[in-house]
Structure formats: structure tokens, C-alpha cells
A and B are shown apart, each in its own frame.
Chain A
Amino acid sequence: MKKKGVPRIFWYGIALLYSYTFILMIAEMNSPGMTFNLKMGGAPLSFLYNGFIGVFAMNVFLAWLWYYVPEQEDKRAAAGGGKDK
């Protein structure tokens, strides 16, 4: 029998998403020039942490996490020996 309510993995993912976003946003707002001057390989790092990870990679990971973990839990629940949630 599965427990009801929002699965715990959802809140872990939410914490990861919003802490990543808002820590970077706050850093950018308080560090003059960070968006352009902080560089990696000659290009602004913002292309990586915002343009690529923020727009694409982080969300692909979360989408994977939020289908993979519930599927594993469903399997365990079906087998009858797993933990709830």
C-alpha cells in the first residue's frame, strides 16, 4: 500500500531547482559584471549555468528523476516488500 500525498522526491527536486536558480540570481544581482565577466574558456559562464544547465540539463535531470523514482517505487510496491513512498 503506497502512502498518499506528494512524494518526497518531488520536494528534493524542488529544493534543488529553486536553490540553484535563486542562489545564482542573487549572486548575479550582487556581483557587478558577473553575467559577462565571469568566464570559462573565453565565454561568459552564464552561457553554461543559465543558458545550458538552467534551460536544459537541470530540467532534463528533474524530468528523469520524477519518472524514474516513482517507477522504482511502483515496482517495489508491486513486489510487496518495498518501503512506502
Chain B
Amino acid sequence: MTTNPVVIFAALLYFAVILGIGYVTRKASADPMDYYVAGRKIGPFVNGAALAAAYFSPASFLGMPAFIFIMGYPFWWVLSSIIAGLPLASMMTAAPMRKYAPVSFTDYYADRYDSPKVMRVLAGIPTLMSGWAYIVLSTVGTALFMTAILRVSYPVAVVIAAVVIMFYVFMGGMVATTFSSAFQGVLMTFASVVVAFVVLNVFGGFSGLANAVYANNANFWLMPGASPEGLFSHPIMGYWTGVVGFYFVWHFGFSTMPYTVVRFFTAMDIKSARRSVFWAVLFGGAMYWGLLIAGTAARVILETMHPMMQQGATNAVGVLNMIRTQLAIPGAPITDYSYIALVEALGNPVILGILVAGGLAISMATAAAWVMVLNVLIGRDFMGKCLGNVWSINNPVKSLRVWTVVILIITTMFSFNPLGLVLDLSGWAFLVVIVTTGVPLVGGIWWRRANTTAAMATIIVFFPLSMYSWLYARNTLGSPHWAAFSRLIYGSHEGAFKLPTGHQVWLIPVSVIFFVVVSLLTKPNSDEVLQKYCDDIQ
């Protein structure tokens, strides 16, 4: 299969704009505050578009349509919950964090919990793990778009992705990341919405799409418990905890994930921080509406329009298997190709060109945002604040640049031949941040009783517990979406019930309860600290 020149042009144009932003913003290296937090001069529209682009990763662009493809209608509620999680941040963290105005994600933990070194290291551990998983996932996602649509060989695509991200983050730090992400945010939204309208046009509107999906697979529309015959859209959506659990998996992420929280530091004032959330919802919501339509239509379109149905595939899964065999991208599950395969089946090179630009945009924005979190974490916090390394303290921008290169070399190595586990880990990588650093972040802002012991204990307990639960469920129960404690309650005999709770989401309320109980049982922080880092920033 050859690549249409229109598609190649769209990709080249995208890369030209991104590299141009990197070059133009290179002067940010003259001032460390520009390099760290874009001088805190970013307005709400640009910051909001950048927030959306950073927060939504290939796990959204490829993963959400794939989840709907697999789990059917009940997963629509998950898309709704993810976007509903965005406005929560405007009060929970955006305004307080901008008022506090730190430089790094770990600054708040060091100050609020009155522990300049230990809390920085503890908060940094889940951040490092999560960042590593997300950068690998995003690099693989960028390469997947290049390989699947532009037919570039996978290793070459990985190198191109890493080099381009390295170039603009290295040159302009947070300034380059902000403006490139804003551009990427607009692009990914445009791509998703255009694809959705083309899909609706193919079916003649919502009713045509709904009827075609029903004719293809009537179980698609089943909510748990809604079928008198006990049918369901997918075993994990066969019980109400599947839908409700998945609803909360990603719901609190926007308020607590390091790569979104740092973007509140870049806003020009508190008002801009709140308003930037509004723009992020506008972009993210429109994009997710498009992904919802595409995911709903994917199976029908693949089975009725994809050329591979004429070449031996008997159903949509067969088409995706053939694509995977053809591309041989290590680690990526077949369903990750569903969105790309859908657009391929539409047979329109312009739409495919728009999709490749949107796909590259969403993947690279997330990787770059995480690189900025990690280079500040290692180059400033660990090297300078914790270890007192004089060179890092005296050369803040150089230190961040060195770590940008190191981080991207390491993650690129993992991206060449990623295990399926590494890509799957993005689910855990998200949860671990919420249950370890997320709870002390929100608790520290809004609850005077939250204290250092509870913050430390929550991170120390829930980091290994979440990893163990997630891996146990994945490897022993067959999916990370079955509750790890299912066998304790329902037994391990053949056919025993397993409780569906997406990505071990039950750990979120458990970590909140744990944090509250430990806080109540141990000594509170000093009044001076509470005044400064709790009362004054509310």
C-alpha cells in the first residue's frame, strides 16, 4: 500500500510548524523562569488548548475508540466522566496552585508537608514511574501513526518522534512546549471532529449510525442489568460496578496529574488558570464527542468498508489482526489500530492526512509535557534541592537540557521494542499518581488536618499496593479490570464471579480513607505552614 502525497504533505506541514515553534522560542533559555514555567505569562486560550493536548494522550485518541469498539455503549459514560473531571480542577487545584505559584510539581509537597527533601523524593517516585510509562506510550503512539499511515518503518518512526520532541523541548523548554501543545490541541480536536462528521455522513446521521450498529451487534447497546436474558456488551460491563468503576478511573486525573498541574503554574494569573480549564473542556469535550462517534462506528465500518474484508478477513477483529501482522509494531494491542483502520476504510486521503496530523499532535504533546515535568523533577529538584549539586543550581537551564536528552534517550530505548506490559501500564501509571500524590495534593490544599505523616504513609503504602493489585489482576485474573480481591470474596473455583472495577479504581476511595485516618491519628503541621500553604491559597 502506498501513501497518498496529501497525507505526506499534512505530516510534513505538522512537523514544520512544531520545529518552527521550537526554533522561535529558543530565547526562553535566557531566563530560567521562562524555561520552567513560561514566565507565568500564558493566557487562558493558549493555556487551555495546551492543557487539553498535554492531558489527552494516545491512550485517548487510540484507546477510547478501541474501548468503545470492545465494550460498547456503557463505555460512553467513561468518556463523559473523563471530560467531567476537567472542570473539577478549576476549583480543586487550578486556582490554588496558581496562587501558590511554584516551579515544580514537588514544591507543594515539600512546603505544605514541611519536608524539603524527603517529601520531594517520595512525591517524585510515582511521578517518575508514571512519566516513564507515559513517555514510552506516547512515543510508541507517535510512531504508530507514522508507521500505520505514512508507512515509515517503526524504528525510524520512533527516532523521528524522539528527535522532534527533544528538539523543541531542548530549545524552548516550557515556552516551546506551551505553544506547540496549544497548536497540537487545536489540531487534534479538529481531526477528531472532522472524522466524526464524515462518519455520520456515511450513515446519513445519528439514526443511520445507531441502526447500523444495532444490526451489526445488538448487544453493543446493553447497559449492565438491562437485558432480561442476562446478556451484556462485554463481560466487564456485565455488572454495574464495571460502568461505575470505569466512570471514576480517569475522573480525578486532570486535577492531580503532574503534567496538567504544572500547566496551572504557567497561567498569567488565577483568573487565567480557571479560564484555561474552560478552554480545555471546550477542546477536550469536542474531541471526545468525535472519538465517541468513531468508536461507535468502528466495527461496522471495518466490516463493511475496509478493503481487507475482500482479502480474507471475516470480521473487524480479523481486519485489525491483518493490519497488526502487516505493520508488526511490537506490544501494541490490535484494538489500537481500530481508529486508524476506520479512517483508512473511509478511503479519503484528506481525512487520513488530518488524522495523521491530529494523531501526531496528541501523542507528542503528552510526551513533551511529561518530559518537562521530569526534567524539572530530576534536573532541579533531585539534583539541586535534594543533592545540592552546585552545577545544577548554577546552571538551571543547562541542567534541564541535559536531563531532557537523557530522559528521551532512555524512553526511546524502551520504545523500540516495548513489551505489551509497558503499554498496558499506562492504566496503572494513571491510577498510581491519583492514589499516592493526588490525595495529599488535594487534601493538603483543602483540609488543615492533612499532615506529613499521612502524606508519606499514603505514598509509601499505595505505590506498591497499587502496582501489586494491578499486576495480580492482570496476570492472575486475566485483566487489570477485575478487582484484585475478587478471589478472596467469591472464591477461585471455575466460573467464580469476578468483580469488575476498571484499573483497580477501588484503590482511590481506600487511599482517601487511609489518608484521613492517618491524618487524624497523627500530629498536624505547624500553624505557620497551614496558614501559608493551606489557608492562604484557598
Of the candidates A5, A30, A66, the one whose C-beta lies within 8 Å of that of B90 is A66
Contact status B80-A35, CB under 8 Å: no
Within 8 A of A (CB), among B16-67: none
* Bound CA–CA A5/B80 (angstroms): 27
B interface residues, tally (CB under 8 Å): 48
Chain A 33-66 near chain B by CB (<8 Å), digits 1 or 0: 1111001011110110011101110111011111
Contact status A62-B87, CB under 8 Å: yes
User: Does B379 sit within 8 A of A, measured CB to CB?
Assistant: no
Contact status B207-A41, CB under 8 Å: yes
Q: Which residue on B lies nearest to A33, using beta carbons?
A: B226
Chain B 265-308 near chain A by CB (<8 Å), digits 1 or 0: 00000010011011011100110110011000000000000000
Contact status B91-A32, CB under 8 Å: no
Determine which residue in A4, A31, A35, A50 has the highest number of CB atoms from chain B within 10 A of its CB, and name it.
A35
List of A residues within 8 angstroms of B278 by Cβ: 60, 63-64, 67
Contact status A54-B77, CB under 8 Å: yes
Contact status B227-A32, CB under 8 Å: yes
Of the candidates A10, A36, A47, A50, the one whose C-beta lies within 8 Å of that of B91 is A10
User: Does B210 sit within 8 A of A, measured CB to CB?
Assistant: yes
Q: What's the minimum C-beta distance from B133 to chain A, rounded to whole angstroms?
A: 26
A21-B80 contact in complex given A34-B226, A59-B87, A63-B87, C-beta closer than 8 Å: yes
Give chain A's interface residue range (CB within 8 Å of chain B). Answer: 35 or more
* Bound CA–CA A44/B213 (angstroms): 12
Contact status B205-A59, CB under 8 Å: no
List of B residues within 8 angstroms of A50 by Cβ: 76-77, 80
Determine which residue in A17, A56, A64, A71 has the highest number of CB atoms from chain B within 10 A of its CB, and name it.
A56
User: Does A84 sit within 8 A of B, measured CB to CB?
Assistant: no
SS class, residues of chain B in contact with chain A: helix
Contact status B80-A63, CB under 8 Å: no
List of A residues within 8 angstroms of B285 by Cβ: 55-56, 59-60
Q: Which residue on A lies nearest to B537, using beta carbons?
A: A4
List of A residues within 8 angstroms of B446 by Cβ: 5-6
Contact status B247-A63, CB under 8 Å: no
Contact status A59-B86, CB under 8 Å: yes
Comparing B143-151, B216-224, B420-428, B494-502, the segment that makes contact with chain A is B216-224
A7-B289 contact in complex given A46-B73, A67-B274, C-beta closer than 8 Å: no
18 extra interchain contacts, Cβ-Cβ under 8 A, other than A43-B210, A44-B210?
A13-B87, A29-B223, A29-B225, A29-B240, A31-B226, A32-B228, A35-B73, A35-B226, A36-B214, A36-B218, A44-B207, A46-B73, A50-B76, A58-B84, A59-B285, A62-B87, A63-B278, A67-B271
The 6 closest A-B pairs by CB, nearest first: A43-B206, A54-B80, A67-B274, A42-B207, A56-B285, A63-B87
Residues of A in contact with B (beta carbons under 8 Å apart) = 4-7, 10, 13, 17, 21, 25, 28-36, 39, 41-44, 46-47, 50-52, 54-56, 58-60, 62-67, 70-71, 74
Residues of B in contact with A (beta carbons under 8 Å apart) = 73, 76-77, 79-81, 83-84, 86-87, 90-91, 95, 205-207, 210, 214, 218, 221-228, 240, 243-244, 247, 271, 274-275, 277-278, 280-282, 285-286, 288-289, 292-293, 446, 535, 538
Could you show 6 A-B contacts with beta carbons less than 8 Å apart? A6-B91, A30-B225, A36-B218, A51-B293, A56-B83, A60-B282
